[in-house]
Structure 1
Amino acid sequence: MLVCCQEILQLDDKDMDDVILRLKKVNGQIQGLIRMVENSDNCEKVIVQFQAAKAALDKTYSLVLDRSLKECMSHNDTENVGRILKLISKH
């Protein structure tokens, strides 16, 4: 269960595990990217790593957003759906 757009994000166990695993993978990609930049690695490889990390983070963001919106909509919670849409439009 996910409480949408509240102070506390609550995911069911499966989604929580999925989000945490994805974030840990992104963290590993970022750590690798830091090392690449510190070592002045090949520019193309650095850019590819940036793209991979961004894509992985975007997918994780989409998962959390999807669960939030579905939860709000299942409860006809138009107020919180509106809040989420405002947050999305800001970024």
Structure 2
Amino acid sequence: MNEEKKKAVQSLKTAKGQIEGIIKMIEDGRYCIDISNQIIAAQSLLKKANMLILKQHLNHCVKDAFAKENNERDAEDKIEEIIQILSKLTGK
């Protein structure tokens, strides 16, 4: 596993712990603003993990697709995948 994936897994594990904590906060009737702040923190970790995975994808999968000779279709497919992900991230 490369460094980006290791960091992504760590962010996801931290987010998992935060989400479990958030559930407990809700069950315990904690203050809504405190819960909301913890949700935002968990979202931030998920975004960080996603960016690390996308970075790894660009540095390896996409780069490899462009490096291969006579593989224009694979490179075009990789570009389209990135465009679709960016569309989801931006809500467009």
Scaled by the length of structure 1, what TM-score is found? 0.75
Structure ID, larger Rg: 2
The alpha carbon displacement at 1:74 in A equals 4.9
2:35 to 42, 46, 55: 46
Structure with the higher helix share, 1 or 2? 2
Structure 1 position 22 matched with structure 2 position 43: no
Aligned length: 80
Tell me the residue number matched to 1:70.
59
* Aligned-residue RMSD, C-alpha: 1.7
| Gap runs ≥5 in structure 1 | 1-11
Aligned partners of 2:3 and 2:55: how far apart in 1?
14
Q: State percent identity of aligned pairs.
A: 26
Bigger relative contact order, structure 1 or 2, given CA contacts below 8 A and separation 6+? 1
Contact 1:73 1:81 in 2 (8 A): no
- Is the 1:19–1:60 contact (alpha carbons within 8 Å) kept by the matching residues of 2? yes
Give ranges in structure 2 of 5+ residues lacking alignment. Answer: 67-74
TM-score under structure 2 length normalisation: 0.74
- 2: CA distance between counterparts of 1:15 and 1:90? 21
- Find the residue that maps to 1:40 and give its secondary structure: coil
The offset of 1:78, in angstroms, is 2.9
